Chain A
Amino acid sequence: MSTVATPAAPPRRRRRSRLQRRQTRLGWVLLLPALAVVGFVAIYPLGKTIYYSFTNQEFLAGIEPTKWVGLRNYRELWHDSIFRTAIWTTIKFTLITVGFEFVLGMIIALVVNSNFRGRGAMRAVMLVPWAIPTVVAAQMWKWMFDDVYGVINDAGVRLHLLSHSRAWISEPGTALASVCAVDIWKTTPFVALLLLAGLQVIPRDLYEAASVDGASKLQQFWRITLPLLRPAILVTLIFRTLDALRVFDVFYVFFGNRPDTQTMAIYDQATIVGDGHVGYGSAVSVAIFLIIGLFVVIYVTFMRVTEE
């Protein structure tokens, strides 16, 4: 552990010295470029989006004059049943995929963290799905799910798991499950990698001591691994949840604009780019921002509680 020496806070309050003031000023000056970048790439676009959400801005400007419409977009959004379906679809997708990815990722991480021959190769191979670009992977899976040619149907029928070929992507009953399968296949390695990094910093001697004291493997997992892995788990879950909430690519490749399987991001893109309603689409964007923000707040609060 090589921690950079940070000046410890003075034990009691006293007037700041001139040096400290100068240091503070220098600090702000050094921060300026970073603040400018953040302002330019994050705050400005966000502000502009929020502004647009209160107007009737259209993509093809000039046909109707753009004017301030107050909360009209938000009122419409509140009654927008398609968007409500999209929120629901996205949340279902998030819960299913993050849940599966976490459990499977944990199992894989534990396996590749143990000692066995070919461990290095195993760790490398497990990353293969994650290394394939999502759109390419989605296209590949779309073929695998095909009702006429798909390898999944072919294998299923040959092994007598299926009575007949099914149109996994087309049938409303299996559509969401099929898209979840792709995401789980693709992202589990990423989850495993993050958890593996967390596992590797747990000191070995803890397990040795536990073994000496007669703790079983299962007890070691619950009492040592899981508590010490908590920070890594939280980071992983936050990453994956936020990622899943803004999912676009797999759904876009699989379903295009099918109304029953739209995610929030797909609906937003279709509203702004497809229909040209920049104002209303911005309101959708702000709503997505708030929904994702809500999840962040939940996680961060949870994290703070567990830290204390």
Chain B
Amino acid sequence: MKHRALLVVAGLVGAATLAVSLTVAAAGTSRPSGHATPVKSAAIAPPKVPNAAAIKAKYHGQSIQFIGDAAVGASHKRDLKLVARFQKDTGIKVNLVPHPSGSDAAYSQLARAFGSKSSKPDVAMIDVVWPGAFAPYLVNLKPALGKASKQFVQSIIQNDTIGGKLVAIPWFGDFGILYYRTDLLKKYGYSKPPTTWNTLFAMAKKIQDGEQKSNKNFYGLVYQGNSYEGLTCDALEWVASAGGGNFIDNGKVTINNTKAATILDAMRNQVGKLTPRGVTSYDEEGARNVFAAGNAMFMRNWPYAYSANQTTPVKGKFSVTVLPHGAAGHSVGTVGGWQLAVSKFSKHKPAAIEFVRYMTSPAVQKFNAIFNSNVPTIPAVAKIKAVVKTNPYLTPAIANVARVTRPGKYLKTHYNEGSKAIYQGVSQILNGTPAKNVLPSIASKLNSLIK
């Protein structure tokens, strides 16, 4: 009997604790998350499908499956609205399936579908680094959408062109930018944000020394230093902006060079000084939380942080600009973002292509930017006044920064493995190993993968 009483009590406490902890977890995730924090639910409706009558006459009644965005924030809502509009105008039934929110899981879901030659999905959203891996399974969209593709940012089109075939169309983009505190800039007598890494370090040092007198937790610079995909993005920006190449250039591994080593060592030297020691475990939100609490002068992050920071103590006290560059380089931003692709195993390819044509059209990109703060991949859309108003980081001076792409194109199916070699190596550097001891082994790993 004693046992039973114990078990009952334990069960009750267990249930109660589970409820409490789930609430805690829910509270944890209710922080402004990932990519989908609209500044405000702008009253904008999805645009009409152009040429709908002709499409309806040909493909009416067909049914396609679309693997779209995760059910996070307004992204899934955006997809629902667009799909509903497309269905109404064309009579093509679109079965919308959100992908898992983890990029790893989304990748393996598609890998399984393609690997088993499944006729579903017909259309899938794929990360900017996946075209190389999935190219053999994707339809060449050049005949149908080649002309339309000329209006997009050309570096992304190049990224999506594998062996002369255009396997995906850019849907919405992302690129790395520098966030800085306007109030502190003024307080310490600076008129503009830094343009080179050396000036950034000098400014960060002065401001940090001043601010730490009243706030011991204040640091100069935060970024994504954890050992994960985000570090590959950040490191690419450092190396490319210092004139050290893009890890792999024209099919040759270039990561092991002195310019790359110099900038990586410069970053290593600041860990625990101008950047918190814990930066080597920060992801996007980790860095943003420090900046948003007013504890950092500079932050490298994606544009989503702009709207996400509007509800924090730094609201109205920060601005954005392009990332700094080294003595020999120029400013760059790593390309992130998502593409739409059509599966080779689809039974309704023409209908699926029409869907992609609509979803990536300038009108829909404008809708996405205003409805869900998605960065347009068509420069003309990024210039529209209403779009710039909701997404101020789209002013030409920032939005026209040179884009650099991670080497998905060369690593193909080995992309994840190659990126892992890069971020694990850079993580080792940030944790204290000189770059010259690490870069050769990253290079040899990358060489073995692109053979």
| Interface residue from B24, B289, B417 paired with A136 (Cβ < 8 Å) | B24
In the assembled complex, the Cα of A80 lies from the Cα of B5 at a distance in Å of 52
In the assembled complex, the Cα of A167 lies from the Cα of B282 at a distance in Å of 11
A123 touches B6 (CB 8 A): yes
Those of A104-137 within 8 Å (CB) of chain B: 120, 123-125, 127-128, 130-133, 136-137
Assuming the contacts A63-B136, A132-B17, A257-B424, asked whether A276 and B416 have C-beta atoms less than 8 A apart, the reply is yes
A167 touches B10 (CB 8 A): no
A128 touches B13 (CB 8 A): yes
| Interface residue from B111, B276, B280 paired with A60 (Cβ < 8 Å) | B111
Please count how many residues in chain B sit with their CB below 8 Å of the partner chain's CB atoms. Answer: 53
| Interface residue from B12, B116, B417, B420 paired with A61 (Cβ < 8 Å) | B116
A275 touches B281 (CB 8 A): no
A38 CB contacts on chain B under 8 angstroms: none
Assuming the contacts A123-B6, A146-B278, asked whether A59 and B115 have C-beta atoms less than 8 A apart, the reply is yes
| Interface residue from A128, A165, A276 paired with B413 (Cβ < 8 Å) | A276
B6 CB contacts on chain A under 8 angstroms: 120, 123
Residue of B nearest to A130 (CB): B14
In the assembled complex, the Cα of A127 lies from the Cα of B3 at a distance in Å of 15
A63 CB contacts on chain B under 8 angstroms: 136, 413
B276 touches A274 (CB 8 A): no
B13 CB contacts on chain A under 8 angstroms: 124-125, 127-128, 131
B417 touches A274 (CB 8 A): yes
Please count how many residues in chain A sit with their CB below 8 Å of the partner chain's CB atoms. Answer: 47
B108 CB contacts on chain A under 8 angstroms: 59, 273
List the one stretch of A40-48, A169-177, A238-246, A284-292 in contact with chain B: A169-177
B279 touches A170 (CB 8 A): yes
A136 touches B25 (CB 8 A): yes
| Interface residue from B217, B277, B279 paired with A166 (Cβ < 8 Å) | B277
Assuming the contacts A61-B115, A131-B14, A136-B22, asked whether A275 and B417 have C-beta atoms less than 8 A apart, the reply is yes
B115 touches A62 (CB 8 A): yes
B416 touches A256 (CB 8 A): no
A59 CB contacts on chain B under 8 angstroms: 108, 111-112, 115
In the assembled complex, the Cα of A123 lies from the Cα of B5 at a distance in Å of 11
In the assembled complex, the Cα of A133 lies from the Cα of B279 at a distance in Å of 26
Q: Does B447 contact A (CB under 8 A)?
A: no
B281 CB contacts on chain A under 8 angstroms: 142, 167, 169-170, 254-255
Instruction: Mark contacts of A54-71 with chain B using CB atoms, 8 A cut-off: 1 yes-contact digit, 0 otherwise.
Output: 000011111100000000
In the assembled complex, the Cα of A280 lies from the Cα of B50 at a distance in Å of 50
Q: Does B2 contact A (CB under 8 A)?
A: yes
In the assembled complex, the Cα of A166 lies from the Cα of B278 at a distance in Å of 8
Residue of A nearest to B417 (CB): A275
A276 touches B21 (CB 8 A): no
A170 CB contacts on chain B under 8 angstroms: 277-281, 431
B413 touches A120 (CB 8 A): no
Those of B1-32 within 8 Å (CB) of chain A: 2-3, 5-6, 9-10, 12-14, 17-18, 21-22, 24-25, 28
> Which residues from chain A sit less than 8 Å from chain B, CB to CB?
58-63, 120, 123-125, 127-128, 130-133, 136-137, 139-140, 142, 146-149, 165-167, 169-172, 193, 197, 200, 254-260, 270, 273-276
- The 5 A-B pairs with the shortest beta carbon distances in the complex, nearest first, are A147-B278, A167-B277, A167-B278, A131-B17, A131-B14
What would 13 more interface pairs be, CB under 8 Å, given A147-B277, A259-B227?
Answer: A59-B111, A60-B111, A60-B413, A62-B117, A62-B136, A124-B10, A132-B18, A139-B28, A148-B290, A255-B281, A257-B423, A276-B413, A276-B417
> Which residues from chain B sit less than 8 Å from chain A, CB to CB?
2-3, 5-6, 9-10, 12-14, 17-18, 21-22, 24-25, 28, 104, 108, 111-112, 114-117, 133, 136, 216-217, 219, 226-228, 272, 276-281, 289-290, 293, 295, 413-414, 416-417, 420, 423-424, 427-428, 431
Q: List 15 A-B contacts (CB under 8 A).
A: A61-B116, A130-B14, A139-B25, A146-B278, A147-B278, A165-B217, A167-B276, A167-B278, A170-B431, A197-B3, A200-B2, A200-B3, A257-B424, A274-B104, A276-B413
